[in-house]
Every structure is written in C-alpha cells, then in structure tokens.
Amino acid sequence: MLSPYTKVTMITQKTTFPDFIWYQVHDMTPEERSWLTTDQLIPNELLSYAVDPYESARMEYDEDADLTLIIFDVVTPTSTRATTEPIGMLFSNDQKRLFTFTRPETDYVDNYLSGTEVSRRPLPDHATPLDVILNGAELLSSKFMSAILEINRRRTPIQSEIRKTKQTQKTIDQLMDLQTDLIYLLNSLHTDRDLLRSYKARKTVQLTDHQAERIDDVTVELQQAIDTGELSQLVTNSVSDAFVNLANSNLNWTMKLLTVSSIVLTVPNIVSGFFGQNVSLPFTHTPMGWIITIILTLILMSITTVILWRSGFFRK
C-alpha cells in the first residue's frame, strides 16, 4: 500500500485520490524524463511541450500512447519571464494517471489542483484526473481577476498624481509595466478560454454532466476576467496617452519659453553691435553714453517682451 506521498526519483507520487495516481513532476531532470518515457511510456515530444515555459495554452492528444496533454496558462507573480506562464497537465484517457509539470514559479498550482484551496463546487466522490484539472482551472482562473484588480490598484495613485508628477520617465515606466502585464494576462485568458471551448467541442471526448458544467463555469470565469482586463487595458492606455500628452505639452511650453527668452536676449546683442561699429554715432562721445545705451537696451527689451506677451507667446 502506497503512502499518500511516495517519491519516484524526485517525482512525488500522490495517491490521495482513490481512482487514479497523481505524479507531481517539479523541475524535471534528465533521469526523471528517462523514467517517464521508459516506465510510463510518455512520448518525449509530449514531455517537451509540458515543461516548455514558452509554450502557448493548448491541448495535445497522442493517440498511440492514449494520453491527453493540457497546457494551461496561470498567473506567476514571482516569474522574471512574464506575468503568466504555462503548466503542463497530462492524463491518460482511461483516467488512471495524472501528471503535472511545474517549475519554481508555478509550483503553487499543485495546491489548487489537490483541493487544498476551497472551490465553489467540491470534487465528486470518485474524482477523475479531468475533474481535478477542471476544479484547479476554476480556482486558478480566479487569480487572473485578482491580478487585474491589482493592476487597477497600482494604476490609481499614478492616475491621481499624473498632474503633479515631476519624475516623467519613472511614471512612464510604471505605466508601461502595467500595460505589459495586461497584455500577458489577456493573451493567457484568451488562450485558456479557447482551450476549454475546443476541448468541450471534441467529439471524441465523453464528458459527464458535472465536467461539462465545470468547463462552462471556468469559461464564464475566464470571460469575466477578459472583460475586466480589456476595460482595465482601455483605462490604462488612456491614462498613458494622457500622461504622454501632458508631458509633451510641458515640453512644448519649455521650448516656447526658451525661444521667447532667446528673442528678448537678442536685443542687447543688436544694440551693442550697433554701437560697436567704428563710425560716429550719437552718445558715443558723451560721459553718460554707456548708461544711455543700457537704458535704450532695456526699453527695447521691454517693448519686445510686451509685443510677445500680447501675441500670446507667454500663454501655456
């Protein structure tokens, strides 16, 4: 009699479900790959798909091995690669074996699949691998909504401070991070939803009423997250565009001030250049000539400033 947790190399063999054996594969090693291919007769190609961190969410069926691989995107807050990453869930079509493939960023998924996290609908008494996968998928789908709401929370202070911020580049970087996170989340939500729809539509798959309802529940959860995410993306893009426009407006105002200042400061050069010529000019031989020159320069600068002001060059 196997204990609830038995080690096969570094693979955890979990037998808490009475009708099938669950193998939890974490950071698969070459030795574990060899054991899975030789003892469990899993094709190498399926294993490569299951552990690829850049694989898109989809379903793969191997007729010869009678195995189905479901690749499902999940939220990965600790990942340095992306906001979401895929996990591989492989099960035999006789519903006797389940294999899950995780990495350090996705190892929390096993708790959701095992029922440690409370689901809105409990697993049936004689749960199959597909029941466990669908139950976990529903719980994992709710994390997308939490991630999107967290993005909304992070955007709110940026939005409220947008008119007062001076650290333009820092704020733009923060908005870009939010936009990137939303792109990953929405892409994963769409692929997860399409995966479940295509699985339910397969004519070769015989689903129980419970499984069909669970797929519908997960699909609805994903669709709600998609709607919320698209709205969040729209608002975030609008805030980003508004901030860019505000930054451009401030830049234009700065350039306008520099241009007006350069025009006003051109007047002293003109006056000094005029009186610096080697010809006889008024006030050039009087003791107060330099004071008269300064007064004349100030008068011309004032006239120039008034003209520019009345022309609207000092309006923001």
Q: What is the pLDDT along the chain (316 residues), one digit of tens a residue?
A: 344 445 455 788 887 788 899 999 999 999 999 999 999 999 999 999 999 999 989 999 998 999 999 999 999 988 888 889 999 999 999 999 999 999 999 989 988 887 665 555 677 778 899 989 998 898 899 899 999 999 888 888 877 776 665 556 777 788 888 888 999 999 999 999 999 998 888 867 788 888 888 889 899 999 999 999 999 999 888 888 877 777 787 778 788 888 888 888 888 887 777 766 666 667 667 777 778 778 888 888 888 888 878 877 777 6
- In the block, which residue shows the tokens 């989340």? 185
Provide the whole-model pTM: 0.71
* Integer Cα distance of 226 and 144 in angstroms: 9
Do the Cβ atoms of 28 and 47 come closer than 8 Å?
A: yes
The b/e string for 274-302 (b: 16+ C-beta within 10 A; e otherwise) is ebeeeeeeeeeeeeeeeeebeeebeeebe
Residue 211 in tokens:
């499984």
Residue 148 in tokens:
């999107």
**Residue 307: C-alpha distances to residues 36, 257, 270 (Å):** 84, 15, 17
